[in-house]
Structure 1
């Protein structure tokens, strides 16, 4: 596997304010981010609140599969680019569950993002019931295969975020060993689809990542960063997580 910078993605979800934008920007500005790439994904209304000069990139939490048109409440890839967005989260478990997003729709969104020049952060993960039934690998493979089947080159142009649904916002987290085993499976499955992409693609862990468990997670060979939820709303803790990821 190639040596690569860690990638830290802050998913603010439907949280945040102009005050948090200022605090986070100031906190990250005084922290060295050597050897780590940082992406902040705030609510859309806050994208223009960030200064043009910053030591991190911006991401969005969703994108429409459509280019433009009568789709009230949606946001297009072109509009995200105008807001200086570089990454977009696609297929988050909350979108899959609360908004009934299917594998096919997620694949279409990944394709739209890639064609526009955005980097998709493709989220995959299993429920607690699926894990208890030992279906984790089956579920993850199905979610990856749906994107690959739609356009084989899309996975190579994406970031993959493994988020065990049972660990999101619950305070529970997969152990470093559990997370590594699952990430190793994901990379091995990717190798069956695209051997080159499997060595280069960043695999992120997302599931109650915080300042206490991040170092042990980042020490695992197949974990290349994290998709951080609640802890990314605390500037000091998020900066600590970023520092822990430095090579």
Structure 2
């Protein structure tokens, strides 16, 4: 199961009840792509409604708090996500790191909380354009991996179950229309794989590494066929079935 390409749509702060029709269309199409694991992560208010609307795809949140409950106005716990029907949560997205000052340590604490609540996690990492131009891209991303991924017994169990994934999203490619060159994606995914193997041993080879950053129907086939790429974290192109499903269809079938 964990070897299937993982195509995840991140709706970010977009969506309405009317957009559930798009989710239903994606869900209906999922049966035509049994070799692909498909999921959507809508804003918090839509998670429960989306869970009720679909049956063949995963449903996730875009963030969670480190605590299970308490005096944290405006925050949502992993336990609440699980209770409303979420399967997983995206953590450490560059927009969270930048706009909310989230550190690697905070991302790891959130990942620990999510695993404790029974959720899968997608931990996001990625370098800025300045960091890439300075030749520091792999060092920055490797450091984020080392500091952000969950560790310990619970993490090891989650990795074995295919419930831990990493999304490499170069910050300069998110929402800009720019896409990293395939050879750069391959090199970065190899660097990430090395850190995952260091952290999880042989099981680290099974953690799917997704690529994200202006993924669309035109570039998905080349990116998803690249060595080491285990799926995609899709932003704007996940908001409609017409834009998202060609990306799903581009995912190659992989042997277990």
TM superposition score normalised by structure 2: 0.90
Give how far 1:115 is off: 1.1
Match of 1:169 in 2: 175
Give how far 1:61 is off: 0.2
Give how far 1:52 is off: 5.3
2:249 to 240, 243, 246: 243
1:40 has 2:46 as partner: no
Structure 1 residues 178-237: Cα deviation after superposition (integer angstroms, max 9, x where no partner): 111110111122222222222110000011100000000111120000000010112111
1:151 has 2:157 as partner: no
SS at the partner of 1:58?
strand
Unaligned runs of 5+ residues in structure 1 are: none
Match of 1:18 in 2: 17
Q: Would you say the 8 A contact 2:123–2:148 is kept in 1?
A: no
Between the aligned partners of 1:202 and 1:106, the Cα distance in structure 2 is 18
2:185 to 176, 179, 184: 179
Match of 1:220 in 2: 226
Give how far 1:53 is off: 4.7
Number of residue equivalences: 245
Give how far 1:243 is off: 1.1
Give how far 1:24 is off: 2.6
SS at the partner of 1:59?
strand
| TM-align CA RMSD | 1.8
Between the aligned partners of 1:77 and 1:60, the Cα distance in structure 2 is 9
1:1-247 to structure 2, matched below 5 A, reads: 4-31=3-30, 32-50=32-50, 51=52, 53-147=54-148, 151-153=151-153, 154=155, 156=159, 157-247=163-253
- Cα 1:20–1:197 change in 2 (3 A) is same
Give how far 1:34 is off: 1.4
Between the aligned partners of 1:103 and 1:213, the Cα distance in structure 2 is 30
Structure 1 residues 2-40: Cα deviation after superposition (integer angstroms, max 9, x where no partner): 981000110000001112111231243045121000110
TM superposition score normalised by structure 1: 0.94
Q: Would you say the 8 A contact 2:59–2:85 is kept in 1?
A: yes
- Name which of structure 1's ranges 98-107 and 21-30 shifts more when overlaid on structure 2: 21-30
Q: Would you say the 8 A contact 1:34–1:246 is kept in 2?
A: no
Unaligned runs of 5+ residues in structure 2 are: none
Between the aligned partners of 1:3 and 1:47, the Cα distance in structure 2 is 23
Between the aligned partners of 1:130 and 1:152, the Cα distance in structure 2 is 30
